[in-house]
C-alpha cells in the first residue's frame, strides 16, 4: 500500500478534532530513541521521523487505541490522555 493510498484510507474515519492535543510527544526525548517502535506500530501512522532526528506526532487522526504508549521505551516521551468529551474519533461502521 502506498502512502497516498493510506492517507485516503485514513480519510474514511471521522475525527472531531479538539483544538488541544490529547497526546503530547516530547521530540527531544525521542531524539535519543533508536528503536522507534511507535513509527511502525501506530495504526494511523501518526508518528513521523524528522530530518533532524526527532519525531513529530500529529494527534488529529488518532484512534485513541493506546498502542503508542504501550510500545514506547522512553520514559516521559509520550503524555497520553483521552480527548475532551465528544471529541476525537467517531466510529460508524465498525
Partner 1 sequence: MSRTFNGVEVNDSVDVVVVGGGPAGSCAALVAARAGLSVVLLERGPFPGSKNMYGGVVYPRILDELIPNWWEEAPIQRWVTRRSTMLLTDTQALTVDFRTDAWGKAPYNGATAYRPDFDHWLAGHAETAGAQLLTSTTVTGLLRDDNGAVVGVTTDRPDGDLRARVVIACDGVNSFLAKEAGLYEHTDVKHFTLGVKETIALPKEVIDERFGVRDREGVDIEIVGCTGGVNGGGFVYTNLDTVAVGVVLKIAKLASQSLRPEQIIATLKAHPAIAPLIEGGEVKEYSAHVIPEAGLTMMPKMTTDGMLVAGDAAALCLAAGIWLEGVNFAMASGMYAGEAAVEAVQAGDVSAQGLRGYQRRLSDTFVLKDHRKLRRAPELVLSDRVQHLYPQMVANVVERMFRIDNPQPKPGMRRILKQERKRAGVRRRDLIRDAITGFRSYG
Of 13, 25, 27, 60, which lies in the binding site for partner 1, with binding defined by CB under 8 A?
13
Binding residues for partner 1 restricted to 21-60, rule: CB under 8 A:
37-38, 40-41, 43-45
Q: Judged by CB, which is closer to partner 1: 29, or 36?
A: 36
Judge whether 57 and 23 are in contact, CB under 8 Å.
Answer: yes
Q: Judged by CB, which is closer to partner 1: 28, or 90?
A: 90
Q: Give the phi and the psi of residue 14 in degrees, each rounded to 5.
A: -95, 135
Judge whether 14 and 87 are in contact, CB under 8 Å.
Answer: no
- Work out whether 12 is an interface residue with partner 1 (CB under 8 A): yes
Amino acid at each position: 500500500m502506498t502512502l497516498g493510498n493510506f492517507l485516503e484510507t485514513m480519510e474514511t474515519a471521522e475525527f472531531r478534532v479538539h483544538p488541544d492535543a490529547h497526546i503530547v510527544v516530547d521530540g527531544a526525548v525521542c531524539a535519543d530513541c533508536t528503536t522507534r517502535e511507535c513509527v511502525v506500530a501506530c495504526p494511523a501512522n501518526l508518528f513521523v521521523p524528522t530530518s533532524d532526528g526527532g519525531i513529530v506526532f500529529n494527534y488529529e487522526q488518532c484512534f485513541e487505541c493506546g498502542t503508542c504508549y504501550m510500545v514506547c521505551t522512553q520514559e516521559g516521551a509520550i503524555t497520553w490522555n483521552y480527548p475532551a468529551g465528544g471529541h476525537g474519533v467517531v466510529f460508524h461502521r465498525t
